[in-house]
Amino acid sequence: MKLKLRAAAKLNLTLDVTAKREDGYHELKSIMQAVSLFETIIIEENISGIITITCDLPGVPCDKSNIAAKCAAAYYEAAGIQNKGLHIDIQKHIPMQAGLAGGSADGAAVLYGLNHIYKKFNDQELVTLAASIGADIPFCLMGGTALAEGIGEKLTPLEFIPECTFVIIKPDIGISTAQAYGAVDKFGMNSSPSTDVMLRLMSSAEKIASFLHNDFEAALNIPQIYEACSKLNKCSGCLGAQMTGSGSAVFGIFENENDAKIAEERLFKEYPFVKAVKPCKFGVEITKA
């Protein structure tokens, strides 16, 4: 069976790193938002007995280290399905090392697609399986607006955010997740209650913008990040800007879509990636069977 899917990027409206566990993982509280920047993933089973990957972007690992391949292997093992071959084709639209969960979105699409075929797991079981592979994959399955806790696997759906448009910038630098958490460990855990405050004040784009927060941003202290946020904040109609996830992408929030489009056009001349996007209510969807 062949499926074509699309999977949404995510933004962190807040990100509080609250503790480091004995197993090396970090506890966090974050309000996550899916947005209309999509990967396209095509999966097709075959009789080869192996999992193969192709991708249209050079530099993406096309072997078993790819998170999409890990998700496929984990699904087959958990479902007790043997000797199945699967080809995964990834058409990249989400920048790498950006904190936008592009790799996790790819993995979520594979899990969603395989479960559509085999129907072995309910939603919670699929989320549990996803969490065993990567912290952002559970949210990438769910989409919409959600509170993420634990290492990201404990998800509470929230009311969809008010009408707004985000402008995403990816500066010409990359930040690995390991680099970001290493910086937080050196910087120290922040006791900021930003997520708890935001949960009470999400009635408008302006209020959301007032309480944007990301612990990684201060810990990393990278000039290109601050510069990109500053340029967004100087755009007419931008209510606030910050880094998303472990970076290096930043986003600005606009109440007026036309203001966002003008900012996108202006900043496109300065950065390798600039995109105006809307909040998205899903994480993964099938576009063609």
| 141 and 6 inside one domain | yes
Active-site residue (options: 106, 136, 215, 259): 136
From residue 202, how far is each of 16, 27, 145, 162, 221 by CA, in Å?
17, 23, 11, 8, 27
Task: Look up 63 and say whether it is catalytic.
Answer: no
CATH code where residue 106 lies: 3.30.230.10
Domain hosting 130: range is 2-159+281-288
Q: Same domain for 13 and 147?
A: yes
Same domain, 149 and 184: no
pLDDT (0 to 100) of residue 289: 65
Q: Which helix (H) or strand (E) holds 251?
A: strand 250-254
Q: Say whether both 188 and 113 belong to one domain.
A: no
**200-243: pLDDT as tens digits:** 989 999 999 999 999 999 889 899 999 999 999 999 999 999 99
143 and 19 part of one domain: yes
Query: Does the annotation mark 89 as catalytic?
Result: no
Domain count, the chain: 2
Q: Say if residue 180 is in the same domain as residue 136.
A: no
pTM value is: 0.94
87-112 pLDDT, tens digit each: 999 999 999 999 999 999 999 999 99
